Amino acid sequence: MAIHSIAADSITRMPSVEALVTFSLASVVLIVIPGPSVLFVIGRSLALGRRGGLWSVVGNELGALVPLTAVAVGVGSVVAQSIVLFTALKLLGAGYLIYLGSQAIRHRRDGLDDPSSPAARSVAARTVLRQGVIVGATNPKTIVFFVAVLPQFVDPHAGSVPLQMLVLGLVFTLIALVFDSVWAIVAGSAREWFGRSPRRLSAVRVTGGGMMIGLGASLVVTQSGD
Tens digit of each residue's pLDDT (9 = 90 or more) over 120-154 = 345 688 889 999 999 888 887 788 788 888 887 88
Contacts of 167 (CB under 8 A, 6+ apart): 14, 15, 20
pLDDT of residue 221: 72
Alpha carbons 198 and 7: distance in angstroms, whole number: 60
pLDDT of residue 117: 42
The answer to whether the beta carbons of residues 202 and 109 sit under 8 Å apart is: yes
Q: Is the pLDDT of residue 34 over 90?
A: no
The answer to whether the beta carbons of residues 45 and 188 sit under 8 Å apart is: yes
Distance in Å from the first CA to the final CA of the chain: 50
Q: Say which residue, 109 or 185, is predicted with more confidence.
A: 185
Work out the pLDDT band at 7, boundaries 50, 70, 90. Answer: very low
Work out the pLDDT band at 102, boundaries 50, 70, 90. Answer: confident
Work out the pLDDT band at 171, boundaries 50, 70, 90. Answer: very high
pLDDT of residue 8: 43
pTM for this entry: 0.72
Alpha carbons 171 and 92: distance in angstroms, whole number: 27
pLDDT of residue 57: 94
DSSP letters spanning 134-196: HHHHT-HHHHHHHHHHGGGG--GGGS-HHHHHHHHHHHHHHHHHHHHHHHHHHHHHHHHHHTT
- Determine the 3-state secondary structure of 122 from DSSP: coil
pLDDT of residue 80: 62
Amino acid at 17: V
Amino acid at 89: L
pLDDT of residue 13: 66
Work out the pLDDT band at 191, boundaries 50, 70, 90. Answer: confident
